Structure 1
Amino acid sequence: MVYNWLKLEHHCQLCDERCETGHSLCGPCEAELPWLGGQCSICALPLAATALICGQCLKHPPAFEHVAVPWRFAFPVDSLISRFKHQSRWPFGRLLSEHLARYLQHRFDEGLPRPDLLLPVPLARKRLRQRGFNQAQMLANWLSPVLNLPVRNELLQRTQDTQSQQELDAAGRRRNLRQAFALTDERQIVGRHVAVIDDVLTTGATAEALARLLKHAGAVRVDIYCLARTPKPGD
């Protein structure tokens, strides 16, 4: 009996306190995550209120319809993403993907249209060799069975080994991504609603480039699902 009780004991992955069976975070840690409140209803840029559209989306409407994201890019989510992405700490990625899946299912229940398939943002070959894995692909593969949505890892490809986006400003990111992506089979996209999976949305340059490519191939709707959204510089 003692052995069975110990097997069922769960500990929070952030504070190591005991938590409810089947949960990876305790209640207090989950409540203290940087949940995204007021945001742009299109690109999810953090704003002071809900149901608003940011100035950038009003001035230049993006090719994607909606960004679904649970958190601001702030502690401890930023640290968990970095450790997953740059230190191969896959359990942290799995933890975040579980919460993202629950968030998305809640959004679907509230009326967010369900996509036909999930497409992870492709990684440049050089960076894939250096890192050994594509974090967006791993997230998509974890989300797929939970949300009961197919994932197509091979449809989107990165055709150029561009400079790291983290080193560039917004204009540089857009220039950096011109002609950077391609589709292996456009017929798989025609008439479909697709969701692009990534870890963090910063300027939206990658999301915009991929959404334009997918819309040009015949997608009827493109949404972006990611773990975290960065605020405007200085906010």
Structure 2
Amino acid sequence: MRCQPRYQGQVYICLKNVQTCLLCDEPATAEMPICEGCETDLPWLGSHCQTCALPLPANGLTCGECLLEPPAFEQVAVPWVYGFPVDSLITRFKHNAKWPFGHLLADVLGQYLQHRFEEDLPRPDVLLPVPLANKRLRRRGFNQAAMLARWLSVALDLPCEEQILRRIKDTDAQQDLDAKARKRNLRNAFTLAADAQVKGRYLALVDDVLTTGATARALARLLMDAGAARVDVYCLARTPKPGT
């Protein structure tokens, strides 16, 4: 049984006439329902680790964890730090099924990635949403990463393949665990579908938030061990290091 929603209509009305900003209710001048002021005030990621996008004090640096234990993924592409109001929008999308907020964030992420493609980021062959545990999928009714990947697929004209990655172990919620516990929690949690086509392909994982990177590391290692040529990670927000 598939409980993932297959909504084919518009999540919000996207016309050429003026819309209302979803954040402040003022008129939005662009086709997306966000005004220029609110978009400017979003917590855009500044200087960060070249690999995992951890916020750092200067550009061109690599964080200590990536130097000591390089991840299997090549780099993380993410527009925002996990802070207000992006954190609130993600929470309302993820836990309260407020799809317009998720679609808005996906649209802006799509614009950000398109800009990166035009600058220095190679285009992947396919988008792969991070799979959700079956128990959590039944309770929530949808996988937020899969919905983001579908919206990005349309915006970037890239295929989205949702069945390649499987989560075969229901694990505790990652947000309740520290970095070491997250790694233990994910041990043997993922596998590839029997007919997965991975070898030689450039793949991009899609998720909502990157915290310690344990999930992304585990999935990227699985894909690289199966012969993937490269794995990147696309997400909405990156959490800063605790205490910073």
Judge same fold: TM > 0.5, yes or no.
yes
Match of 1:26 in 2: 35
Matches within 5 A, 1:166-185: 166-185=175-194
Which of 141, 157, 175 is 2:166 aligned to? 157
CA contact (8 A) 2:45 2:81 kept: yes
Alpha-carbon displacement from aligned partner over 1:198-235 (angstroms, at most 9, x marks no partner): 00000000000000000011001000000000000001
User: In the alignment, residue 32 of structure 2 is paired with which amino acid?
Assistant: H
- The alignment partner of 2:206 has SS state of strand
Tell me the distance in 2 between the aligned counterparts of 1:224 and 1:144. Answer: 14
After superposition, the CA RMSD in angstroms is 1.2
**1:228 match:** 237
Per the alignment, do residues 12 and 205 of structure 1 end up closer, same or farther by CA in structure 2, a change over 3 Å counting? same
Equivalence map 1:105-120=2 (5 Å): 105-120=114-129
Q: Distance in 2 between the 1:213 and 1:7 partners?
A: 44
Deviation at 1:21, TM superposition (A): 4.1
Q: Is the 8 A contact 1:84 1:91 kept in 2?
A: yes
User: Displacement of 1:185 after TM fit?
Assistant: 3.7
Cα distance, 1:187–1:124 mapped onto 2, change above 3 Å: closer
Alignment partner of 2:191: what SS?
strand
Find out whether 1:15 has 2:20 as its counterpart.
no
Tell me the equivalent position of 2:4.
Answer: none
Change (3 A) 1:21 1:63: closer
2:204 and 2:222 mapped to 1: Cα distance? 13
- Which structure carries more helix by proportion? 1
Give unpaired runs (5+ residues) of structure 1: 1-5
Cα distance in 2 for residues equivalent to 1:98 and 1:7:
16
| CA deviation profile, 1:104-128 (whole Å, cap 9, x unmatched) | 0000000201100000000000000
For 2:25 and 2:240, locate their aligned partners in 1 and report how far apart those are by CA, in whole Å: 30
Q: Distance in 2 between matches of 1:72 and 1:27?
A: 19
1:161-209 deviation line (CA, Å, top 9, x unaligned): 0111011100000000011001104651000000000000000000000
Cα distance in 2 for partners of 1:74, 1:133 equals: 24
Aligned pair in 2 of structure 1 residues 215, 186: CA closer, same or farther (>3 Å)?
farther
**Amino acid across the alignment from 2:226:** A
Q: Structure 1 stretches (4+) deviating beyond 4 angstroms?
A: none
Tell me the distance in 2 between the aligned counterparts of 1:110 and 1:37: 17
Equivalent residue for 2:228?
219
Is the 8 Å Cα contact of residues 186 and 217 (structure 1) preserved in structure 2?
Answer: no
In 1, are the aligned partners of 2:16 and 2:31 still within 8 Å (CA)?
no
- Call closer, same or farther: CA 1:214–1:39 in 2, change over 3 Å: same
Determine the C-alpha separation between the residues in 2 that align with 1:208 and 1:99. 25
Identity of aligned residues (%): 63
Matched position secondary structure for 2:183: helix
> Is residue 80–residue 238 contact of structure 2 (8 Å, CA) maintained in 1?
yes
Q: CA deviation at 1:7?
A: 8.2
Match of 1:75 in 2: 84
Find the residue that maps to 2:233 and give its secondary structure.
strand
Does the 8 Å CA contact 2:126/2:202 hold for their aligned counterparts? Answer: yes
Counterpart for residue 3 of structure 1? none
Question: Structure 2 length normalisation: TM-score?
Answer: 0.92
TM-score by length of 1: 0.96
Counting only pairs closer than 5 Å after superposition, residues 10-159 of structure 1 correspond to structure 2 as 10-159=19-168
**Structure 2 contact 127–161 (Cα < 8 Å) conserved:** yes
1:210 paired to 2:219 = yes
